Every structure is written in structure tokens, then in C-alpha cells.
Amino acid sequence: MTFLDSAVWGGKFCSDGWRHSPARQPVTEPATGDRLGTVGVATAEDVDRAAARAAETQRAWAATSPQRRAAVLRRAGELFTEHAAEIEDWLVREAGSVRSKAGFETGLAIGECFECAALPAHPQGEVLTSEDARWSLARRRPAGVVGVIAPFNFPLVLGLRSVAPALALGNAVLLKPDPRTAVSGGVVIARIFEEAGLPAGVLHLLPGDGAVGRAVVEAPEVRVVSFTGSTPVGRAIGERAGRLLKRAHLELGGNNALVVLPGADVARAASAGAFGSYLHQGQICMTTGRHIVHESLVDEYTAALAAKADALRVGDPAREDVALGPLIDRGQLERVHGIVTDSVAAGAKLAAGGEIDGAGYRATVLTGLTTDMPAWREEIFGPVAPVVSFSTTEEAARIVNDCEYGLSVGILGDVGTAMRLADRIDSGKVHINEQTVSDEPNAPFGGVKASGTGSRFGGPAANAEAFTETQWLTVRPDIADYPF
């Protein structure tokens, strides 16, 4: 039996053990449409039961020694390492990842577990001064039950980056993966922590549709909601959580800019731009969605980028050596093509691509855009690189900021100029002489404006802020005297 053998999880969800479900959904390979298995689908009632059970088990888990919690996280990292090849196969087949992206994502998962294994030993508060004769402390306590709702694009790491720190800090977790990646974004995580020694009932895997997600948000026991996904859904979750007086950590969309400064090495810049726009078929919140190139370089850059786009092969990453795999489903494929064709109809010009290729989409370069065209204004979530020019750094800053999103920006070229430009940009992340796609387990990750509610993932400070509550505690040597 393999680690992810369907005999364990087929037709089931995980809530205090693997449970058969009367409702099931197929696990489908987007490149071929083949069925890879079947997972059990939870209901809102299952969520209610899981939340109640999670609240029961959370107190004992929080009382577990820091050394024991750290050991579970370390063992999880070791298990990800031991079973990396099998996990990568699932990322390739279920999520449509090319092999290098699957390896990168699994590596991030390993790093996340080892990074979070240190959290239980980090300082859990601070000693405060007090005008009275007492000790005054601000200490971090687990939030309780955390709801995690994860997307399909990097299904493993974008769920794990909330699950791992929440568990390490003493919380219980309800995890709802995207239905399209319920194995690589859900079963994998549940199996890893099951084998790592996490007590039953602390982590619950609850695949399902929007009704299950709403139940996770609304369960009274859930005190913190961590959501990664689209901005419209994030707004709805934020509104619902706000009405219920719950914290919602929202990591949402992006239409990220790559600025190519005058004098930049065009060949290197085009390589960076292609990686930023075409990695995982552009299905990344950090994807380079806008190429803003100095007028002195724009023709040369566009030609170099188009040449790279034309050379990128589209196909089935499980059976071929390709650069671009399938988009997650037919609906997303048609949406991407619609944005491209609508923009061309409005006057944009194709320098490369613009075609559906089986279950995938050709790497595309668009020029001649105006800022009101859909390919410029919208988050495409496909392998499309729109290019415009600028003449001054002031104009470049204005173009970058003229966007509802503010997640990630890359600036290529002279470092001094880039630093001055970075100071004028509204973005959660800025990468100088790098493209827009970058993530590390110890770095704070998040955006501004419509990209979310700030840097809530990565590193001990952000994780503590996300998944604990601060309690003020005072201690006196004797009962105080009061005037009543």
C-alpha cells in the first residue's frame, strides 16, 4: 500500500478518523478528464459536528508540551520529504502542475513544517511595566478552532501555510480544500499529520462546496478564518466573519506589475517576465499580469518575450516534458480565452499565443493595450502577458498603482532607481531584480487594497498575530487593598 492509497481515503472525509460519506465527488485529471479516484463530501451538519469535536480536542492539544507539538511538526516535515515523489505525482495529475512546479511546492511544504516546528518554542508574550506593585504580562494564547479554506492553484502549500502554524500554536483546524484539488490540497495534509502523530480530532478534512465553506465560517466554535482565493469570495467571507465578530485573514487576488527600467538587460528581463507570467499557466495570485517597460526597450523586450512564449510547449505534464500544463478546468480555459479575444477585439494586438491548445492555453503576449481593456484591468489567472510602455519613473509608479490590487511588484534594472520607485508603490511585496512570484516560509506574505488584509502568513510574528489571541495577565504577591 502506498502512502496515499485510495483504500484509506476513497469515498471518505477525515473527521476524528476517516469516515464514509454518502455524498461523493470524482477526483479528475484536468489534462485528460480521467477519474483518479473519489472523495467523500462533507455536509454542513458534518462541519457542525467537526467544529464541536475540534473545540473539545483543542484544549488538550494546547496543553500538550511545546516539545511534543514541535515533534509533530518536525515529523510532518520528514514525512513530506519521504513521500515527496508520490505527493508530486498527485500535484501533477490533479492540479495540472508541471513537474518542476510540483517539486517547488512540495519543497515549500517541507520548509513550512520545519519552520513551524520552531513556533512552540518562540516567546509567547512579553513582560510589561506597571505602576502598581504587581507583575504585568501580555501572553499569547491559542485562538481555539481555526477554519482554513484553500484554493486549487498551489493546493498543498496554500492550505498548509495556515494549517501548520495554527497547529503548532495549539489550535485545532477545520480544513476545506478546493473541490478540484481535494487530494493534493486536503488528503495529503490529513495523511501527513495522521502519520506524524497528531491526536485524532485536532485536524478535520471537510471537502465540499460553498455551503460547506459557509458552515466553516459560521460554526460558533471557529474563532479565526483563514481564506486564500478570489477577491469576490474573500469579500463575502470577510463580511460574514465581521458580522459574527470573527477575525478573517484574507489572501486574495492580484494583477501584479513587472517594471523594466531603462538600461535593463533585455534578455534577462524577458526571461524573468516569462517565468512570472507563465509559471503554472499563470494560475498564481503573484503571477506577472502587467509588463510595464521603458519606451527605449519595449520593442526589443516584447520581441524577446514573444520568442520565449512561442517556444513554451503546452501539454500533459504527467506524460510529456512540457512547460505549461492544463488549466484547472474548461470554464477557466474559456474565461482566459474570452479575456484575450475581447481585448483583441477592442484593439490589442497578439505578439504570441492567443490560442486554446487541448486542455491548456498557449503562452500569450499582448501589446497595443489601453488601461480599460479586460486583459489589463482584470486578474486573468492564465498564461497571458500584457505589455505597455512608460517614459518616466513617475509615470511607471502611476501605472503600477492604478490597479485595485496590491500584492506583488517586480522591478528590473538599476537598483538605485528601483529603490526610489519602490518607495512610491502600494504593494504588499516588492522584489528588485526579480519577477513577482516569490514565497518563503519565514517571510511575511500578503497584500494591500483588494489583494487582502495584509501580511498574515509566514514568520513567527505574522503567524502569532494570525492564530493566537493576546491575554493581559497580572500577578500580585497579596490580595490588593480596595476602597470598598
The residues annotated as belonging to the active site are: 251, 285
Burial of 184 (0-12, 13-18, 19+ CB in 10 A): buried
What the block records as the C-alpha cell of 159 is 492550505
Q: Please, what is the angle between helix 460-467 and helix 155-168, to 10°?
A: 80
DSSP E strands in 264-395: the ranges are: 288-294, 349-352, 356-357, 360-361, 364-367, 384-390
DSSP state of 187: I
Residue 143's φ and ψ, nearest 5 degrees, are -65, -35
Q: Which helix (H) or strand (E) holds 66?
A: helix 66-82
Produce one character per residue of 90-114: b if its CB has 16 or more CB atoms within 10 Å, e if not. bbbbbbbbbbebbbbbbbbbbbbbb
Closest alpha carbon to 289 in 267, 256, 263: 256
Three-class DSSP category at 290: strand
Show Cβ contacts of residue 443 under 8 Å, excluding neighbours closer than 6 positions. 458, 459
CB of 283 closer than 8 Å to CB of 249 = no
DSSP state of 239: H
CB of 173 closer than 8 Å to CB of 152 = no
Cα 27 to Cα 25: distance, rounded to the nearest angstrom: 7
Q: Tell me how many degrees the CA angle 78-322-283 measures, rounded to the nearest 5.
A: 70
What the block records as the C-alpha cell of 288 is 506577472
